[in-house]
Amino acid sequence: MKTYRLIRGGLLVALLLACFAPSFAQQTFVTTVWFDYKYFMTTEGPVTFKPTSPTSAYLSNAFVFRRAYFTYDNRINGNLRFRFRLDADNTRNVTGVTLTGSPVSGVSTTTDGKLRPYMKHLYLQYDDFIVPMMTLNVGMIETLTFKPAEDRWGYRSVAKTLLDGYRDITKRSIEVSSADIGATLKYSFAKFFRLAAGVYNGAQYTREENDQFKEVQVQAQLTPVPGLSIVGYWDYEQKLPVASLPLETKPTQSIYKIDAFFEMVRNLIIGGEWFVFKNDLYQTAGEKYDVSGWSVFGRYTVVPDKVTIFGRYDSYVPSSLDRELDMSLVIAGFDWTPFHASWKLQPNVWFYSYKDGLRYNANATKDSDLVFNLTFALSF
């Protein structure tokens, strides 16, 4: 009910701004949809899609709506901008709760996979805040974690970037989010150096704040020569104490991340990212372990506005204490615009490789999997 009120309130704000904004305001409405035909070319499927029932019930192919965005942007004047964005995905939702047993001994839940909208962005942006080249964002805003790599990768329609999609691939949680409630301040000292800092609830945009602690993020981008940039990132958050740790322990978590991008050759972009996630709650037999990974990707435009080829290699280390959990992912495909820029076809294949396949899927008799996707990327 609370989520419904938030969405209703956001829509009302967007409608009022659309109706009463000054005549010089620049308003845009954009819809983005990602739709896949997915075919599993191996019989048991990767860890992400392994069947929960016996392999005889294995689902070999499916049509899937993965994401749908509706974005309203309003450039109110030369400095002030407002954004309202609804997002929807096919995460399963609880739709009913039923008491079970006689007498009552428990509950069961009913779920469905309907695409349901939720608020992703609701913020104000103030350009040239205090001094030129300084930008302030306040509200439900993008975090600093993913955007540099995501912009260079350019194919969020095909796959999330390494850190963003880590849990989807490995089923190992990293507490990161693409959006949260808070404020960021970004400043370009010159073309070769940019600095950004943000403070957020840390509970992510899908949850209410549940403690007094805040997450701090810092990002620095260095461009020593045109076409070559290096981005350093660090975040930090203290968590609530837990019973499994000594009372004097104040568990913390942090991410260290470095991105590098090469854009000196026309129509070619090459990028890479490396990160380490440290969390005091991640322990095995009292010994802490880190979660880490690295990724290299590239895309080359063969025919401008028509054909682009892309590829990527990811390496995942879910536990620094158990390297048998290591796995990798190769993504390759091409982007074709057959008729109009609003409609793109992006055939792509995903090749998973597991150091120990049995650690991911008890049914697996092999250490690799292959998936084909025909992705439809629509934007209008």
The amino acid that residue 286 corresponds to is G
> Given phi > 0 = left and psi -120 to 50 = alpha, else beta, which region is 327?
beta
A 10 A CB-CB count for 204 gives 18
- CA dist., res. 248 & res. 150, Å (int): 39
335 in Cβ contact with 324 (< 8 Å): no
Long-range contact pairs involving 124-129 (C-beta distance under 8 Å, separation at least 24): 124/80, 124/81, 124/82, 125/80, 125/81, 125/82, 125/83, 126/79, 126/80, 126/81, 127/78, 127/79, 127/80, 127/81, 128/79, 129/79, 129/185
- pLDDT confidence of residue 4: 47
Nearest to 368 by CA among 44, 38, 105: 44
Are the beta carbons of 81 and 74 closer than 8 angstroms? yes
Residues of the chain with pLDDT under 70: 1-25, 43-59, 90-111, 242-249, 360-366
pLDDT at 23: 47
Domain 25-78+119-379 has CATH 3.40.50.300: no
pLDDT at position 190, please? 85
Nearest to 229 by CA among 262, 270, 196, 277: 262
Q: What is the pLDDT of residue 89?
A: 78
The amino acid at residue 51 is: P
pLDDT in tens, 346-361: 999 999 998 887 776 6
CA-to-CA distance for 334 and 300, rounded, in angstroms? 9
Cβ burial, residue 216 (10 Å; 0-12/13-18/19+): middle
Domain ranges (residues) in the chain: 25-78+119-379
Contacts of 250 (CB under 8 A, 6+ apart): 238, 239, 241
Phi, psi values for residue 285, rounded to 5° = 55, 40
Q: Is 134 strand, coil or helix?
A: strand
Distances (CA, A) of 29 to 84, 267, 380: 10, 29, 8
Q: What is the pTM of this model?
A: 0.85
Tokens (6 digits) for 158: 């095909």
Beta carbons within 8 Å of 50's beta carbon, 6+ residues apart: 44, 360, 361, 363
